[in-house]
Structure 1
């Protein structure tokens, strides 16, 4: 794959992390601006997840019918409009609605970038490319909160969404000029009426569903952390908002490191082997996090150690779950990518909402949800091994 194509796909894949991580330090400021509390501002995060879950189901069939470029350009343009609307929001309700529109546009890049990788690569190469995309995506959680904190202190929270608008406009230009169409013309003629049938077929593909749920629960654990960490870090343990990004980014650094290690691991063992083993490390770290949170430590650092392990393990789980789920889905790669992403963010939205619902002024709601996601991910991984063996699928 050409470097320019990889960079464009990385930028498109980063829409989700950027639109989430960039504004996390501004939660207290937004709450103050609209005379509400942080728990209500968290609704804008849950609504964004919901928009990602719904929108991906639309873009998948469109990408299989009309090719990858046209739906992608429409989605990026919609993200730009939603970002601008967020910057101009006169009320929290307006902001929440604009975040939903922003998500409906941003999910196009997430769906179609996975489909483009499947168009161009075999399963082993796909796992390596997804790991490389994790590098680009992983920079967002490191840089975005830091830059968001700087913008927040200098220009106010609205400037964060202005920057997202500019970024998405630049991405649309890059797609227009630098991303070729990757869908074969014979496949692009598939009618939209077959979308429901494609989704039903995927739901009956137990190995696909197993890998999708394993990856989805891993994503849900990450977004439980994203939803809960502003309160835990800033309000509970007194980390200054402008320094929040450094603490948040240290965990993202582990994610990036393991994503790059994964590219080497899959070359030796294959994505399925790595996925089945690292999921148990994820569960071990989630268990340790919950135990420490229940003891309500006086300082933040005891929580940061298992949190680092949880987030780092996702650098292996996410690319391999995607590669395993997308293997063999060539003709319907758009629909498969859409359903994969929709399942992931439906679960993520539920996890983020659950952290908010369980909020009690301690770190244990965030830790409990992360542990629950890790436990269910491990169980789904075991189920997938059984489903692949029963279906006679070769290990990849």
Structure 2
């Protein structure tokens, strides 16, 4: 643990909050503008939605390299580099004259967001140590949870007043201000010695040891499937609510904000539920919630109203919170000596895997409600596995 003066710790924490905001801000602020982006570039809605999935894909993939790079070259350099890449990419997206250039810009912006997140959480561990870092990470995650509630409100205002491109100029400006603050105030906290810095950045066998572990594969796949439900909703909601149901941008923002608040409540409640009933039962309950939400989505689809679309989403949000927390913890549990590598691979599953799955299903020709139902029902095989002898070994009750 790096020892800093208490005032410096407070300053570092404030900068770390800024660092973790880049990822959710890069998605949630411009969601109300997705229909306008599709119209501006004269492309299908699925191609506009790809600006989200490509961002998430590279954000996940980049974790394979950002973590080792932060160990080798330091947290501060990776953080500054990530902010710089993020800001330049946002400026490129602002000026994009075709959907292809927009997608390229978003691809690189995902790498930038990945670097900022990895640097932030690594710095927390350095500064606050093993004992207090969990509490500090909870604070950072709490900051992340508020972005889906607040960013679309800002994005809606910017889009209506200045056009959809203003969302990306805001991201570029945010990155520029943050970069200035971090150049002045962000301290290097990497405790690694010279022997660590001399190791190769990428070691293939270290990743394969994790990937071939059945406990990791089962639980990381659960994380992928549940994250895909959220991503499918996030990319489909603007089209479903504004284009198909005729809601205004402000009305869409209100519905999205309500679900974001529910997500915050579920995220803070889920750990207490897991403490009481165990992570295996939490996954079972969460999976049943997703299955019920999918059935409700399908049965209410003829009504074509906002509440008929959002009610199943509210239920799935609770299921997502229960499954993701329980499965992520169990996926990392067997890897005390490879925790960083396992966390990076879990990020690839959650971000890149979910983004790829959503992109493929969006191109299968299903309507939005059917597509969302399909995503929610993909957890059914995992639920059956949990009740099998093999599933009980892959995700035991408590620590049995």
Same fold (TM over 0.5): yes
Q: What's the secondary structure of 2:302's corresponding residue?
A: coil
CA contact (8 A) 2:65 2:201 kept: no
Q: Are positions 1:243 and 2:247 aligned together? A: no
Evaluate the alpha carbon distance shift between residue 14 and residue 386 of structure 1 in structure 2; reply closer, same or farther with a 3 A threshold: farther
Instruction: Measure, in 1, the Cα distance between the counterparts of 2:360 and 2:120.
Output: 29
Which region of structure 1 is more displaced relative to structure 2, 203-212 or 161-170? Answer: 203-212
Which of 52, 58, 63 aligns to 2:59? It is 52
Residue 261 of structure 1 corresponds to which residue in structure 2? 269
Which of 338, 344, 347 aligns to 1:338? It is 344
TM-score by length of 1: 0.85
1:26-175 mapped onto 2 (5 Å cutoff): 26-116=33-123, 126=134, 131-173=138-180, 175=182
Instruction: Measure, in 1, the Cα distance between the counterparts of 2:187 and 2:217.
Output: 30
Instruction: Measure, in 1, the Cα distance between the counterparts of 2:118 and 2:334.
Output: 17
Which region of structure 1 is more displaced relative to structure 2, 88-97 or 12-21? Answer: 12-21
Q: Which structure 2 residue ranges, 5 or more long, are not aligned? A: 1-5
Residue 218 of structure 1 corresponds to which residue in structure 2? 226
Q: Are positions 1:395 and 2:370 aligned together? A: no
Instruction: Measure, in 1, the Cα distance between the counterparts of 2:391 and 2:68.
Output: 26
1:156-305 mapped onto 2 (5 Å cutoff): 156-173=163-180, 175-176=182-183, 177-178=185-186, 181-185=189-193, 188-189=196-197, 191-192=199-200, 195-265=203-273, 268-269=275-276, 272=279, 275-293=282-300, 295-305=301-311
Higher RCO structure, 1 or 2 (CA under 8 Å, sep 6+): 1
Task: Please report how far the alpha carbon of residue 193 of structure 1 lies from its aligned counterpart in structure 2 after TM superposition.
Answer: 5.5
Task: Please report how far the alpha carbon of residue 271 of structure 1 lies from its aligned counterpart in structure 2 after TM superposition.
Answer: 7.1
Which region of structure 1 is more displaced relative to structure 2, 73-82 or 108-117? Answer: 108-117
Evaluate the alpha carbon distance shift between residue 69 and residue 209 of structure 1 in structure 2; reply closer, same or farther with a 3 A threshold: farther
Evaluate the alpha carbon distance shift between residue 284 and residue 346 of structure 1 in structure 2; reply closer, same or farther with a 3 A threshold: same
Instruction: Measure, in 2, the Cα distance between the counterparts of 1:241 and 1:187.
Output: 54
Task: Please report how far the alpha carbon of residue 162 of structure 1 lies from its aligned counterpart in structure 2 after TM superposition.
Answer: 1.1
Q: Are positions 1:325 and 2:331 aligned together? A: yes
CA contact (8 A) 1:283 1:378 kept: no
CA distances 1:332-376 after superposition (whole Å, capped 9, x unpaired): 44322221111112221123213421345552222322332x435
Q: Which structure 1 residue ranges, 5 or more long, are not aligned? A: none
CA distances 1:286-327 after superposition (whole Å, capped 9, x unpaired): 33344325x522322123222112123333433444344344
Evaluate the alpha carbon distance shift between residue 333 and residue 171 of structure 1 in structure 2; reply closer, same or farther with a 3 A threshold: farther
Which region of structure 1 is more displaced relative to structure 2, 7-16 or 101-110? Answer: 7-16
Task: Please report how far the alpha carbon of residue 33 of structure 1 lies from its aligned counterpart in structure 2 after TM superposition.
Answer: 1.9
CA RMSD of aligned residues (A): 3.2
CA contact (8 A) 1:212 1:325 kept: yes
Evaluate the alpha carbon distance shift between residue 9 and residue 368 of structure 1 in structure 2; reply closer, same or farther with a 3 A threshold: farther
Residue 368 of structure 1 corresponds to which residue in structure 2? 374
Q: What's the secondary structure of 2:305's corresponding residue?
A: coil
CA contact (8 A) 2:66 2:78 kept: yes
Instruction: Measure, in 1, the Cα distance between the counterparts of 2:357 and 2:147.
Output: 21
Q: What's the secondary structure of 1:40's corresponding residue?
A: helix
Which structure has the bigger radius of gyration?
2
Instruction: Measure, in 2, the Cα distance between the counterparts of 1:357 and 1:247.
Output: 26
Instruction: Measure, in 2, the Cα distance between the counterparts of 1:328 and 1:123.
Output: 20
Instruction: Measure, in 1, the Cα distance between the counterparts of 2:137 and 2:325.
Output: 5
